[in-house]
Each structure stands twice: as C-alpha cells, then as structure tokens.
Amino acid sequence: MVTNIVIENIIEFNTRILKDLKINSEEFNIKCLKCRLAENPTTNKKAPVFLLPMDVLRDLPIANDWEEVCTVASENQLLRDQVSGLIGEIWRTKSKRQKSDIREKALSSKQAFMALLKTIQSVEPKAYDVNKDPDGLRSWIKIHENIATDFPLALSKPKTESINSLTELTEKIIEQYTWLIEERGLSRLLWVEKNKKRVHESVAQMLFFAVADCYAKANNIDITPEADIGRGAVDFKFSSGYEARVLVEIKFSDYGYVVSGYEKQLEIYKSAEKTKKGFYVVIDVGHMGTKDDQLLVLKTETIKENGEASEIVFISGEVKPSASKVH
C-alpha cells in the first residue's frame, strides 16, 4: 500500500541511484509511468527491482498476520479493546480462507480499518541496521561466497537421474551443514541473543541454501528453494535430470507443529513430487520436549506401513563456548 502511494518518489530515487552506480536499466511501465529500472535476473518473466534507501528499511512488518495485531495492540488497553471488539473474530478462526473472508469484512468497515491503523501508528518505527544485521538476514550471503573455499567438500557426481545417488549427495550436504553449525560456529548466526532469542526460521533456511548451493553447483545439481509444488511450498527440492528428486524441510524445535510437519506436510509434498525421498531437519533451539521421540516413533510407524520413511536429522543449534572457556 505504501509503495503504491509513493511509487513516483521510488522511481525518481531509482533513476538517480542507478545512474550514480552505473547499473544497467531496462524500460518498464509501472502504474502507467514509463521508467527505467534494474531488471530482476532471477525471474523468468521480465520484472523490475526497486532499490530503496537503507534508512526506510525496517525489521519484519509490525504485523505479518492478523494474530500479531493482538500483540501490537497489547501495549495500549484502549486499542486492544477496539481491535478485539471490531475484528476479534479473526483470532477465533483457524483456516486462512476464513481469515481472508473476515479480513475483507473488517476492511470494508471504516471503524475497523481506523482501529487497525491506529494500532500500527502506535508503534514507533525503527530502521533496520543493515550493517550490524542483528537478525542475520544478510549473513548467508558471505557464507555463500566463501563456504566452498573455506570448507571444501569432496562429492561424487550423481549418476544421471539416479535417485539413490542424489539422495546420498543430499545427505552429505546435510551432514556438512550439521558440522558447520555444531563444530564451526555457524550456530552463532541462528541467534539474535546468544542461546536466548533466535532468529527467524528463514535465516536457517537461507544458511542451508548458502551451504548447499556451493556444493551442488559443482555437481550439476539443481536446488530450488521454497519450491511451489502445487500443495504448498517445500523448503528445498534437489533434482537431477527429470526423474530424481529429493525434498528437504528445515524446522526449529520450538515450533508446535514440528511433529505434524513430518507426519503430514512433508509426506504431502513428496506425493506431489512423486518421490519417496525426503529429509526432515530439526534444529534444536530449545523447547524440544518429547518432539524428538515422537518423530522417531512416527518414522518407525511409517516404515512399518509404507516400507520406508523420510530421514530425520537433529542438529544442535546451541552456541558452544570456545575451547579456551571449557574447563
């Protein structure tokens, strides 16, 4: 919404910055405005990239989901009462479809919209510190640039379209990812506050991509992050040729749906991709409880029923003390 309101300013900023940085640009038609912008090199369809000043970039939005509006509003009793009374029904619904329907009703009311707007305005905006990168949103980039050189990994190229060969290669990459987190300090990038406040799960996924992509490229393996397979987005899909596919899901241990994710989500993805090979990676950042035992029981039961099951990998995400501090 904000982007649409200030689109002319954004275009003006990009026109100036692209010229200053000597970045190639392509012609686009944005909101009936002809302009020249940088082209996104990662999409099949021609699309622009908008550059923005770092001081207007902030941390994740105040409310990513309607449920988070309640948290934001909790600082102000009056706002909380207004939001709860006007759109509180949203928090009692379960499915995205229901929430979508209620959201439309809520935003069709000026009263409800103004209550929501006041809630957002009550939080003082603070620009994200891109240089310090406290949430590790950019840390994976340096890892991607240096990991293969700093920590070389010898891999045998998989036989063309061999699912077993691709599975072995994927397993070795996951083992390397585990080793880098547990033994080579990559675990520090999983925390905003060491062993207290973790980063978003997407950071762990980006770090995995940074590690896997370097090793996979050398072996002509394609990795698709957040692959939309028609039944939702699986975290990663490894593929070789047309037939061989292996799926990888990465979860933090403190999520309540860790067990159900293995039992339902990953199996649905595998069915959609017509593959029986998958890895379920759980990074222990606390609050594991009995989830690890439940997962192992589920794996055993699945093997009894289907003959095989997705492999489960547990990784300790705790930042360990340096050797000099161990007594």
Q: DSSP secondary structure string, 86-109?
A: HHGGGGG--SHHHHHHHHHHHHT-
CA 157 to chain centre: 28
**CA–CA distance, 327 with 318 (Å, rounded to integer):** 18
Strands 278-284 and 311-316: parallel
Q: If you average pLDDT over residues 29-45, what whole number do you get?
A: 87
Model-wide pTM > 0.75: no
C-beta separation of 212 from 173 below 8 A: yes
Q: Strands (DSSP E) along the chain, which ranges?
A: 26-30, 33-39, 48-49, 191-193, 197-198, 222-228, 233-240, 244-252, 278-284, 311-316
pLDDT per position as a tens digit, 154-163? 776 655 568 8
pLDDT per position as a tens digit, 293-303? 999 999 999 88
C-beta separation of 60 from 192 below 8 A: no
For the chain, domain boundaries: 2-52, 66-121, 139-325
Average predicted confidence (pLDDT) for the chain:
79
Distances (CA, A) of 185 to 9, 16, 76, 152, 177: 42, 41, 41, 16, 11
Of the two residues 55 and 254, the one the predictor is more confident about is 254
Range in 5-19, 167-181, 226-240 the model is least confident about: 226-240
Range in 107-116, 144-153, 168-177, 313-322 the model is least confident about: 107-116
Q: Is 225 helix (H, G, I), strand (E, B) or coil?
A: strand
Q: What is the token pair recorded at 52?
A: 């923005």
Whether 236 shows a pLDDT value over 80: the answer reads yes
CA 294 to chain centre: 25
Of the two residues 33 and 157, the one the predictor is more confident about is 33
Residue with tokens 């105040």: 62
Looking at residue 27, what is its pLDDT? Answer: 94
Range in 28-42, 223-237, 302-316 the model is least confident about: 223-237
Whether 285 shows a pLDDT value over 60: the answer reads yes
**CA–CA distance, 238 with 5 (Å, rounded to integer):** 40
Report the CATH fold assignment for 139-325. Answer: Restriction Endonuclease (3.40.91)
Looking at residue 160, what is its pLDDT? Answer: 58
